[in-house]
Amino acid sequence: MVHNFALVLGGGGAAGQAWQIGVIAGLAEAGPDLTEAADLVIGTSSGSTTAAYVRSGMPPAELLAAVLSSPVQPVGQNPGRPPSPSMDTAFERMRAIGAAATSAADLRRAMGAFGLETDSVLGPAAAEQRRAMVAARLPRREWPDRPMIVVAVNAHTGELAAFDRDSGVELVDAITASTAMPGLGPTHGIDGTHYINGGVRSAENADLAAGCANVVVLSPFGGRSRTPPQAGQFEGLRREPEWGTDLASQVEALRKQGSRVEVITPDTDSRAAMGTNQMDPATRIPAARAGYAQGKQEATRMTFR
């Protein structure tokens, strides 16, 4: 199928997901409604949850209202959340894996091995708890009728897993797989195969929009791929341009193929609202509000062919 317009939603934790909803609502108020315009939505990590909301049929204003009305629960105070290892310890291990990797494939396999290693520590109950937690957050449990791709990585081989409504995988399982961060929780098993976070391949996976005339990328991490400036804040694994997994390389490739690509990253106010720990649910409301304000400003340059 040929798509005219793809919306790419990158990973970025609780703050990033809320920021994306805010941007989409702001854009819709002042310009294009991406929930209607996009005939393909690609979601990675927390962006896969955003994708489920974008494809839920709810208008952008209602999506934003849902975020703003959600109860605030700082990290560590969610009784439904399965136990996980130390965040700082996990991020330190991820950065070490990234530093040692000799290729993108090598990095993905090493991260998969790290995820499977974590499973042995957490035990099988953690996986079921996590699936239930993801399911509770979704606006609907069924795949939408309109095209949507959820990105994960095979923990055994490091290969891409691009789930859609024809993949035979339930939406809840696809999103649980896409958001399974190695070291911070269990991998997600589907028919005997375990998967990890799609952000291990690319924080955005914008290359999956190849062939689309127009592409809009919402990137909470802004394509950053180096060690984050503040200790404890993880903004993505190492991305070498020659690997083609960094956002700039993927956008360049899309443009060379003839796609018009617009990339929206957090502005100064949004960065401040998202804070230094974007996985903290307490960042959701300020991030959504900042994203909304930014979206209204961004609408002036959003034109498509």
Residue 32 has pLDDT above 60, yes or no: yes
Q: What is the DSSP letter of 199?
A: G
Q: How confident is the model at residue 232 (pLDDT cuts 50, 70, 90)?
A: very low
Amino acid at residue number 91: F
- Domains (ranges, CATH) in the chain? 5-67+84-301 (3.40.1090)
Of the listed ranges 83-87, 107-111, 175-179, 181-185, the least confidently predicted one is: 83-87
- Residue 300 CA to residue 22 CA, distance in Å, equals 16
Please give the average per-residue pLDDT across 7-33, as a whole number: 95
Residue 175 has pLDDT above 50, yes or no: yes
Coil, strand or helix at 251 = helix
Residues near 23 by beta carbon (within 8 Å), at least 6 away in sequence: 218, 264, 291, 292, 294, 295, 298
Residue 167 has pLDDT above 50, yes or no: yes
User: Beta-strand (E) ranges in the chain?
Assistant: 5-9, 40-44, 148-154, 160-163, 188-190, 193-197, 214-218, 260-264
Count the residues in the chain: 305
Residues near 36 by beta carbon (within 8 Å), at least 6 away in sequence: none
Mean pLDDT of the chain: 90
Of the listed ranges 29-43, 86-100, 129-143, 198-212, the least confidently predicted one is: 86-100
Query: For residues 5 and 213, is the Cβ–Cβ distance under 8 A?
Result: yes
Query: For residues 61 and 233, is the Cβ–Cβ distance under 8 A?
Result: no
- In the chain, what percentage of residues exceed pLDDT 70? 89
Integer CA distances (angstroms), 34 to 39, 170, 209, 216, 266, in order: 9, 24, 15, 9, 17
Q: What is the pTM of this model?
A: 0.92
Residue 186 has pLDDT above 50, yes or no: yes
Residue 304's pLDDT is 59
Residue 215 has pLDDT above 70, yes or no: yes
**pLDDT tens sequence across 81-93:** 555 567 878 888 9
Residue 223's pLDDT is 63
Residue 278's pLDDT is 86
- Residue 259 CA to residue 56 CA, distance in Å, equals 26
- Residue 274 CA to residue 15 CA, distance in Å, equals 5
